[in-house]
Amino acid sequence: MEYDYIVVGAGAAGCVIASRLSEDPAVRVLLVEAGGSDRSLIVDMPAALPFVYASKRLGWHYQAGPEPYLDGRSIDEKRGRVIGGSTTINAMIYNRGNPLDYEGWAGMGLKEWSYAHCLPYFRRLETFSGGADQWRGGDGPMRIKRCEADHKLYDCFLRSGEQLGFPVTKDHNGYQQEGLHIAQAYIHEGKRWSAARGYLDPAAQRSNLHICTDSLVERILLDGDMAIGIQYLQNGRQLTAHASKEVILCAGAFNSPKLLMLSGIGDADELRQHGIDVLAHSPQIGKNLENHPGVNLQYATERANSLVSELGPVGQVKLGLNWLLRKKGLGTTNFFEAGAFLRSSDRFDYPNVQFEFLPLTRQLKNGRLVAIPGFQFWLDLSRPKSRGRVRLQSADPAAAPNIVFNHYAEADDMRDMIDSVRLARRIIAQRAWDSVRGEELAPGAHAQTDKELEAFIRVNTGTSYHPSGTCRMGIDADAVVDSYGRVHGVSHLRVVDASIMPRIVTGNLSACIYMMAEKISDHIRGKTALAPSSAPWFNSATGRKAS
């Protein structure tokens, strides 16, 4: 099989790249995905998110650990193995990141990744329910909805933040991110709007785009230092496909470095340990792993005050029928309809902690996650200092990679997490909660000292499923790829996904990945980049307007 481009991985980046490249009818594109179809009611229904997470068919089911700073625990790391990738199984939350994230990238020498250069591509990818303006798009493939947030506990959350002195920002993906906000989500007409819906479905019927599912890519084929194709396994048969122009890895922060290493590109000593011939020594592949570590704070409330009152046996039947027949009601929500980007202390000149508010709470009972009357905050660190790594467990392509995050290896991260828990408690202490606030369930009123809070954090830390940085983009000698994802030391090979982020962004990663793929797809096609934006933005570091 001969193609111009082979794209590995049908997640956010892969769907964008395959769709944009195949817009040229003279170009032949192969998109290869390890998983299968995304057609499923539990995928389409936003409220069915817990069932999607639990599905054995839809995910890779990777574990990170043992984590040396979490008492040797392992952490579940959910990644989509399905058409649409992780956009098919994620919580559908749309956050672009803070403008200072992209200004930071530009400050690392990646001038074309400043906020002014990225904003036009954010606008191009989206159709926002709030309408187009100088920050927001109105005719892009991804449908973005401002959540309704009409339950009274969402209002308690927003009002309590105001009472503590924080702003409620009108559009946290517009002029100002910092503050509390009503959330935005990849939901359209009551259904999940994934990368497959936005990019792949409109392109799937093109004769020059071949989509190959249930196909595990085992390695990249190289001729000397040039990528020429892939070897993959489909239905028990080992097959090859060749690319005359490029092989483009869009397999994510775990699987893109894994594939490079399986192909002989990586740290020479580590590759030799697995009997892999070294074709290109690139020791930073798999290093620099970042994520957003976090914990849940949980509170009890009267049943009538919590969404649990609407989710009993009768309520669940009503929810399902209302969604199936009308695409209305609670079936259309991911429940994360309010959030915040705040600073846990005055030491920061940017929002260093993200909150996601849920008007119910869940606890593990008899091995099952059960909703109980209450509410909870998920809070995570937006820019932790600790770094992890991804390595091979073996030379077997079917083996999961060896992942360690090293959360809290840097003591500052634990300090920031403790401060963030205290900040959440200050928000809950405001008078807006007086009529609904019950007992603190986690960590519990007994945990007051730094030592007690640290113990709670080490036992309960999970992640927001935002791995990045393992094939870092940069202009320095240690960078894995250049400013357009081209792998150093190997021609005709590119990486486009969260692994190339030079620094993790302040928020959920999918919006940034779509933007990066849109921007790089223009470069691959030889198109002139969109003109930089002159839209102003709120600079958290100075407290003033920037442009």
The mean pLDDT value for 62-85 works out to: 97
Query: Considering the entire predicted model, what is its pTM?
Result: 0.97
Phi, psi dihedrals of residue 287, rounded to the nearest 5°: -90, 180
298 three-state secondary structure: strand
pLDDT score of 369 more than 80: no
353 three-state secondary structure: strand
The percentage of the chain sitting over the pLDDT mark of 90, rounded to a whole number, equals 95
Token code pair at residue 4: 């111009």
How high is the pLDDT of residue 232? 98
Nearest to 161 by CA among 183, 181, 176, 184: 181
Angstrom distance (rounded) from CA 412 to CA 419: 10
> In one letter, which amino acid is 55?
S
Which CA distances in Å does 402 have to 53, 252, 388, 463?
A: 21, 14, 11, 17
pLDDT digit string, tens, across residues 393-402? 999 999 999 9
pLDDT digit string, tens, across residues 371-425? 889 999 999 999 999 999 999 999 999 999 999 999 999 999 999 999 999 999 9
Angstrom distance (rounded) from CA 540 to CA 538: 6
Contact at 8 Å (CB) between 337 and 93?
no
pLDDT score of 148 more than 80: yes
Is position 466 annotated as part of the catalytic site? yes
DSSP class of 58: S
**Tokens 């009267």 found at:** 302
How high is the pLDDT of residue 309? 86
How high is the pLDDT of residue 370? 77
Helices (H), 274-379: 313-326
pLDDT digit string, tens, across residues 506-519? 999 999 999 999 99
Is the dihedral angle over the CA atoms 466, 477, 389, 86 positive or is it negative? Answer: positive
Residue 328 Cα to chain centre, angstroms: 27
Angstrom distance (rounded) from CA 504 to CA 30: 29
Nearest to 12 by CA among 387, 508, 532, 527: 508
Torsion of CA 42, 46, 51, 55, to 10 degrees: 60
pLDDT score of 159 more than 70: yes
pLDDT score of 252 more than 90: yes
Angstrom distance (rounded) from CA 496 to CA 12: 10
DSSP string, 486-520: BBTT-BTEEE-SGGG-SS--SS-SHHHHHHHHHHH
Among left, alpha and beta (phi > 0; psi -120 to 50; other), residue 230 is: beta
The mean pLDDT value for 247-259 works out to: 98
Angstrom distance (rounded) from CA 505 to CA 59: 24
How high is the pLDDT of residue 362? 80
How high is the pLDDT of residue 372? 86
Confidence of residue 313 (pLDDT cuts 50, 70, 90): confident
**Average model confidence (pLDDT) across the chain:** 96
Expressed in angstroms, the distance from the first to the final Cα of the chain is 48
Domain boundaries, the chain: 148-182+293-381+408-460
* Active-site entry in 466, 488, 492, 523: 466
CATH assignment, 148-182+293-381+408-460? 3.30.410.40
pLDDT score of 367 more than 70: no
Crossing angle of helices 115-125 and 99-107, in 10° steps, is 130
pLDDT digit string, tens, across residues 37-61? 999 999 999 999 999 999 999 999 9
pLDDT score of 525 more than 80: yes
Residues 6+ apart with CB under 8 A from 79: 59, 60, 62, 85, 86, 252, 254, 255, 465
Q: Where are the beta strands (DSSP E) in 52-170?
A: 62-64, 75-77, 126-128, 142-146
Task: Give ∠ CA 68-293-193 in degrees, rounded to 5.
Answer: 135
Q: How many residues does the chain have?
A: 547
* Element spanning 104, H or E: helix 99-107
The two beta strands, 293-300 and 440-442, are: antiparallel
Contact at 8 Å (CB) between 305 and 443?
no
Phi, psi dihedrals of residue 481, rounded to the nearest 5°: -130, 160
Angstrom distance (rounded) from CA 293 to CA 274: 31
The percentage of the chain sitting over the pLDDT mark of 70, rounded to a whole number, equals 99
Contact at 8 Å (CB) between 219 and 119?
no
With 0-12 / 13-18 / 19 or more C-beta atoms within 10 angstroms meaning exposed / middle / buried, residue 542 is exposed
**Omega before 397 within 30 of 0, i.e. cis:** no
